[in-house]
Chain A
Amino acid sequence: MREIDMAVVSATVAEICKEANYYLGEDVIGAFKKGLAEEVSPVGREVFKQLLENARIAREEEVPMCQDTGTAVLFVELGQNVRLVGGDFNEALNAGVRRGYTEGYLRKSIVKDPLQRINSGDNTPAVVHLQIVPGDQIKITLAPKGGGSENMSALKMLTPSQGSKGLVDFVVETVSRAGSNPCPPVVVGVGFGGNFEKVAYLAKKALLRPLGQPNRDPFYADLEKEMLEQINKTGVGPQGFGGRFTALAVHIESYPCHIASMPAAVNINCHASRHAERVI
């Protein structure tokens, strides 16, 4: 067994909170450059120009690219040969978020209760997805998730007879209906299969894939392509001002499901598709 101290876990989480919010990934920057070169709408091209400049300022000055520094969503792969020492693991993750959001001058966007709406003051609690995997390491991925795009997300319990057309229509309609609200050009995470709660998790997880990297299964890779083409025909365009770049990518994550079911979830991410990871 390898021992990992909770102080190391906290320090790591604090670091990736800042990193994810300051440094936009090269995959996203590349997609912006493609948009700047290929968008047919002049206003749309201007949006890409601003987004590239914004990413440059954020990186150089180490400031958040967006004021919505999000809910801290943590995907943790915990090796089964790791022995966690020096405190409470969940508390260590939250302590890292608390520290990262405070030290990094990130916005505290979490209220303690959905109706009473008092700010928790330190962006905790995080939303944690924990998976036990073989090995003696811990992989932590942080995906700060903005509220505006999250609000445009949807889940539908489709039935098997609706087939791939049912899935494509649901995804395209969800993005089209969201229109200008989720800060297009968006990244679309699609969860497909599993059950009611699993499918939402899959949609979120799909957002972690490097932008535009197709699904390993050619069948789903084709569906991703078809969805992206249809979404980019809606005319929404960058920021909803009209244009052909409504989405930068569609990623599907699928899972086996019940004979009666065909659940689908669409998790919309704004263009600031942020994540950072570390292996301890």
Chain B
Amino acid sequence: MEAKRIRAPLTDADVMGLKAGDNVLISGVIYAARDAAHKKLVELLEKKEALPFDLKGQFIYYVGPTPAKPGQVIGSAGPTTSGRMDSYTPKILENGIKAVIGKGSRSAATVQAFQDYKGIYLAATGGAGALLAKTIKEAEIVAYPELGPEAIRCLVVEDFPATVINDAYGNDLYEEGRRQYVVK
């Protein structure tokens, strides 16, 4: 199956054009943020304070990269387990984020939020950090440098490969894949 090419900012129509199981290649800007950064972002949203970047139509990638070696843009940079972000994701989607990238299953409330706010959940190959780093062309810390690997980074990617897991229609690739291959 031909991969669909997508880039930020995503519109509702872009999201509705993607289905669980679709392979995508992402180019352009994505924001790296994981556990500690999500906690801070949601605290700012609850206090209605200014955010370090505009969420509208953007991607968040759950990643905490290794330090760049001399000559590298970024170190190894594969996805971390997404479930830990479940308590924050509905709030993040409500405020404009359209796509989140990680690995592993999401809670029922988060899956519902992808439908309610027209968002998608994408998985990249967990443990392929050296390979995925090759698609990252620029990386810059935009907030919370004190968090080290958990700082928010603005990444510019080219043909970053991912697969749609949860779409805005309520489909779930993990459940469908498992149903297809389970041996009873």
Contact = CB atoms under 8 A, between A and B. Distances in A.
Interface residues of A, number: 48
Contacts of A181: 81, 83, 103-105
Interface in A46-89: 47, 50-51, 53-54, 57-58, 61, 63-69
Nearest to B78: A67
B142 interface: no
Interface in A115-168: 117, 119, 121, 147-148, 151
A65 B130 contact: yes
A201 interface: no
A35 interface: no
Nearest to A241: B177
B60 to A, nearest CB: 16
B123 A242 contact: no
A109 B149 CA distance: 8
A204 B27 CA distance: 40
A239 B181 contact: no
Contact of B127 (A106, A240, A271): A271
Contacts of A105: 66-69, 75
Nearest to B133: A63
Nearest to B80: A148
A207 interface: no
A64 B72 CA distance: 13
A242 B104 contact: no
A271 to B, nearest CB: 6
A61 B180 CA distance: 38
Given A43-B177, A237-B177, A240-B104, A117 B128 contact: no
B130 A61 contact: yes
Contacts of A151: 81
Given A121-B148, A180-B104, A242 B177 contact: yes
Contact of B64 (A67, A117, A241): A67
By CB atoms of chain B within 10 A, which of A64, A119, A243, A244 has the most? A64
Nearest to A62: B69
B126 A270 contact: yes
B108 interface: no
A119 B144 CA distance: 13
A270 B176 CA distance: 22
A244 B182 CA distance: 8
Contacts of A117: 36
A105 B65 CA distance: 10
Nearest to A118: B146
Given A51-B128, A105-B75, A183-B126, A57 B104 contact: no
A64 B66 contact: yes
A237 B181 contact: yes
Given A66-B76, A148-B104, A239-B103, A106 B81 contact: no
Given A108-B148, A108-B149, A41 B177 contact: yes
Given A64-B75, A234-B182, A54 B176 contact: no
Interface of B: 36, 63-69, 72, 75-78, 80-81, 83, 103-105, 123, 125-131, 133-134, 147-150, 163, 173-174, 176-184
27 contacts: A43-B163, A57-B130, A63-B72, A66-B76, A66-B78, A66-B127, A66-B129, A67-B75, A67-B78, A68-B78, A106-B67, A107-B67, A147-B80, A148-B80, A179-B178, A180-B105, A181-B104, A233-B182, A237-B178, A239-B125, A240-B104, A240-B105, A242-B173, A242-B180, A243-B177, A270-B126, A271-B127
Given A148-B103, A181-B83, A242-B180, 6 more contacts: A64-B66, A119-B150, A180-B104, A181-B81, A243-B177, A270-B126
